[in-house]
Structure 1
Amino acid sequence: MNWLWAIIVGLVLGALARAILPGRQNIPIWLTAVFGILGAIVGNSVAAGIGIDETDGVDWGRHLFQLAGAVLIVALGTPLWAAIRGRPRGRA
C-alpha cells in the first residue's frame, strides 16, 4: 500500500509544482507523478539532513522541502523531456 501513497503524493506534489512554475510544462501525467515522487525523496533527504524530518504533529517543514524539491525536479526535467522528445523548449 505504500507504493500507492507514493504515487498519490507524487502526483499531488508534481501537479502543485507545475501550477507554481510559470508557463506551460508539456509533460505527461505519469511523468508529473514521477517528478513529484523524486521531489518528495529530495525533500525528505534535505529535511532529514537539517533535522526536521520527524516532529510532533504535521511536518510542515518537511512538506515544504518536498514541494521545493518537486518544483526543482519539474523545472529541470521539463526541458530535458522536451529535448528527449525532440521538441524545442518553448514550443508545445
Structure 2
Amino acid sequence: MHIIWTIIIGFIVGLVAKFLMPGKDRGGFILTTILGIIGAVVGTYVGSALGWYQEGEGAGFIASVLGAMIVLFLARMLAKR
C-alpha cells in the first residue's frame, strides 16, 4: 500500500510542479509521476542538508514540489541541448 500511496502523491506533486512552471513538456502520466517521485527524493535530500528534516524523515508536500521543480528545470535544460 505504501508504494501505491507514493505513486499517487508523486503524480500530484508532478502535476503541481508542471502547473507552477508553465511551458511545453513532453510526457504524460508516467513521466509526471516519475517527476514527482524524484522531486520528493530531491526535496528530502535538500531539506536534510538545510536542516529542515531529520535523517529518515521524508519531505513535506512543499519541499517535494520544490524538488520536482528543480528536476523539471534541469530536464528542460538538458532537453534543449
Letter in 2 for 1:77: A
How many residues were matched structurally? 77
State the partner residue of 1:16: 16
Gaps of at least 5 residues in structure 2 are: none
Pick closer, same or farther for the CA change 1:78–1:3 going to 2, 3 Å: farther
Instruction: Quote the residue 2:3 is aligned against.
Output: 3
* Other-structure match for 2:51: 51
TM-score if structure 1 supplies the norm length?
A: 0.69
Runs of 4+ off more than 3 Å: none
Question: Aligned-pair distance for 1:71?
Answer: 0.9
Aligned match of 2:31: 31
1:58 is aligned to none
Q: Structure 1: how far apart are the matches of 2:28 and 2:75? A: 12
Q: Unaligned stretches of 5+ in structure 1? A: 55-60, 84-88
Give the aligned CA root-mean-square deviation in angstroms: 2.3
Q: CA deviation at 1:64?
A: 2.2
Structure 2 residue 70 is the aligned partner of structure 1 residue 67 = no
* Fraction of identical pairs, as percent: 32
In 2 relative to 1, CA 74–14 (structure 1 residues): closer, same or farther, beyond 3 Å? Answer: same
